[in-house]
A and B are shown apart, each in its own frame.
Chain A
Amino acid sequence: MTAPDLIRLSGVAKRFTKAGQGITIFDHLDMGIGRGDFVAIMGPSGSGKTTLLNLLGGIDQPTGGEIWFDGARIDRLPEGRLADWRANNVGFIFQFYNLMPTLTALRNVELPLLLTPLGRAERRQRAEIALRIVGLSDRLGHYPREMSGGQQQRVAIARAIVSDPKMLLCDEPTGDLDRGTADEILRMLQLLNREMGKTIVMVTHDPEAARYAGRILHLDKGRFVENELAGARVS
């Protein structure tokens, strides 16, 4: 792999103290994710996969080691700069969608664009395009409570891509969905990876979901135990 990785962890450690006891999540973790990769991270509960995702997304900071993104070190950025960095480079997709219940689908998607200098009309246009990409052009004015789980997750995906980030981080994106809807969402992620070149890191405990990724990393007790190339599933 000659091309530099999009994101690279070297010697990353994460420890914290809980109820007076020191807990080590990672001791010395190294990993790299290349541009355009679709990586699934699997592992049992407590293996540290969500913490890893938080570190990659800059919403948590390591206690040791370095994290480099696109040639710049991000693990020591102050909170304000980190927020900027997230807004420009990362889109998040959560298990429980985490949409704002008081905003319509369109406005939920428009939300990240409030952090850009874009004008009102352009923000709206981009949000509409993002919703069209996820196939929800007819749901612009709907509130989250008026939509199914799958539709809500698609709104969340639209929100994640609307600011055109390089990397999407997904935390159990299908954990709350039935198989059919889950496959729909996963195919959509795959499409974003292939057609739009988004680098995707997805945490999941569902092997079926993991098979949509190009690479699967198994995490256990803070270490990668085996790496495999997924049998890329294409419908």
Chain B
Amino acid sequence: MNDFTLVRANLFRRKLRAMLMIVAIFIAFLIFGVLASFERAFSSGETTAAANRLVVNNKINFTQPLPLAYLGRVRGVEGVRLASHFSWFGGYYQEPRNFLIAFAVEPDSYLDIYRDDLRVTAEERARFLADQGSLLVGDVVAAKYGWKIGDRIPLSSNIWTNSSTGGRRWDFTIAGILRPGKPQSDTNLVVFHYDYLNETRGVARDSIGVVVLETVDAAVNETVAARIDSLFANSFAETETVTEAAFNKQFAAQFGNIALIVGLVVGAAFVTILMIVGNTMVMAIRERTREVAVLKTLGFPSPRIFRLVLGESLLLAFLGGIPGLLAAAAALAALRPLLAGFAPGLALAPPVALTGVGLMLLLGLATGALPALNALRLNIVTGLGRD
């Protein structure tokens, strides 16, 4: 036997009550695990962005086009190591509801710049570069539609019209599969040759969406951004150059303050269990006043009794919290394919799990503090109730 035996025995003296508390805590940590992971995955663009990657977009708004000629001029700016560009295609497969994240890109430089995030084999890459009508498909997309290398796939655009056919359809051959380079990498996309689109769409010739570039070092990001923006100042299309992280963050923020909503809901869940568990702990220790007094009589020092009570609320927090986080991990695994487009790499990430453990500690301490203090202060004579 040790102190832990005592703590455990005390906690489960009323099994039903202990189970109810554990369920309440379980739920709170389930909610926390799922929402915090969701928020993290949703804003993953911000955290997974390469530190030295910058995005040059039209100062009016990132949906406004830039001239293709800007790419060459950006490449000439001191401090730029690599540059590429991509344009939104507004793509869908067969029906508008089969919406795809499709970009028209400059093939070689695009794959170079995203070499750490999007992996293709050398063979697939060579095949893609060689055929202007070919397509690279993210593994998530390929799995969703059951596409394989070599398949002929028609993609439609809700923006552009194919001037060679008059329709909105473009035909592609799948040259390869894009696989995630890092666990959080977003592979829910397809990319194809910009030239293919540019030569067939008839309008908006030689305009591109944004330029993406890699600086020689993250330390020069600001200088490079300033150089680029001053290069195009007072031209028809003024630019705003920001880090990829900032770009992704602003993009995500368009949906609303997800972090705030998650914070409020998780806060409400925690206040709820704090109230329930806190009150129950106070009550449980009050019921045991006499036992606490006996322990003191036996010579248990007050600080040790304080720790025993705190240990009980901590044990409770962990017994509910750890399974809650595990259930959250399971729930996230189930949600992962459904939300792949919205929140890539949805999983219980170590930082979220760690925060969860920290919250368990806090919860245990917060709910145990008052009863532990009462036990600490308990006068033996009153506690034994013999006078």
| A residues lining the B interface (CB < 8 Å) | 50-51, 54, 57, 59-60, 79-80, 83-88, 90, 92, 94, 98, 100-103, 107, 110-112, 114-115, 120, 123-124, 159, 171
| Contact A59-B298, Cβ < 8 Å, known A100-B291, A171-B386 | no
B3 is an interface residue with CB less than 8 A from chain A? yes
B3 touches A114 (CB 8 A): yes
Check A103/B6 contact, CB under 8 A, given A51-B387, A59-B297, A112-B298: yes
* Known A83-B296, A100-B6, A102-B13; further 19 A-B contacts with Cβ < 8 A: A54-B380, A57-B297, A59-B296, A80-B302, A83-B300, A83-B302, A87-B298, A92-B298, A98-B294, A102-B9, A103-B1, A103-B5, A107-B5, A110-B1, A111-B295, A114-B1, A114-B3, A115-B299, A123-B1
A54 to B6, CA, bound (A): 26
In the A-B complex, the 10 residue pairs with the closest CB atoms: A87-B299, A102-B9, A86-B299, A59-B380, A83-B301, A98-B294, A102-B13, A107-B1, A83-B299, A112-B298
Q: In the complex, A115→B386 CA distance in Å?
A: 25
Chain B residues positioned under 8 Å from A59 (CB to CB): 296-297, 380-381, 384
Q: Does B290 contact A (CB under 8 A)?
A: yes
Q: Quick check: is B248 within 8 A (CB to CB) of the other chain?
A: no
Which of chain B's residues have a CB closer than 8 A to the CB of A87? 298-300
- The distance in angstroms between the C-alpha atoms of A159 and B387, with both chains bound, is 23
CA distance A86 to B294 in the complex (A): 12
Q: Is B10 on the interface with A (CB-CB < 8 A)?
A: yes
Whether A50 contacts B3 in the complex (CB less than 8 A), given A57-B297, A98-B291, A112-B299, comes out as no
User: Contact mask B273-310 → A, CB, 8 Å, 1/0?
Assistant: 00000000000000000110011111111110000000
How many angstroms between the C-alpha atoms of A202 and B22 in the bound complex? 45
27 cross-chain CB contacts under 8 A: A51-B387, A54-B380, A59-B384, A60-B380, A60-B381, A79-B301, A79-B302, A80-B302, A80-B303, A83-B299, A83-B300, A86-B298, A87-B298, A87-B299, A88-B299, A92-B298, A94-B386, A100-B291, A101-B13, A101-B291, A102-B9, A103-B6, A111-B1, A111-B6, A112-B298, A115-B300, A171-B386
- Report Cα–Cα, A84/B304, bound state, in Å: 12
Interface size, chain B (Cβ < 8 Å) = 26
CB distance from B106 to the nearest CB of A (A): 70
Measured between alpha carbons, how far is A98 from B381 in the docked complex, in Å? 14
Nearest-neighbour CB distance to chain B for A146, whole angstroms, equals 15
A110 to chain B: closest CB distance in Å? 5
Complex: how many Å from CA A27 to CA B2? Answer: 43
How far is it, in angstroms, between the C-alpha of A88 and the C-alpha of B9 when the chains are bound? 25
**Known contacts A59-B381, A103-B9: A84-B387 contact under CB 8 Å:** no
A115 and B298 within 8 A (CB)? yes
Q: Which residues of A are found within 8 Å of B301, using beta-carbon distances?
A: 79-80, 83-84
Closest B residue, CB atoms, query A87: B299
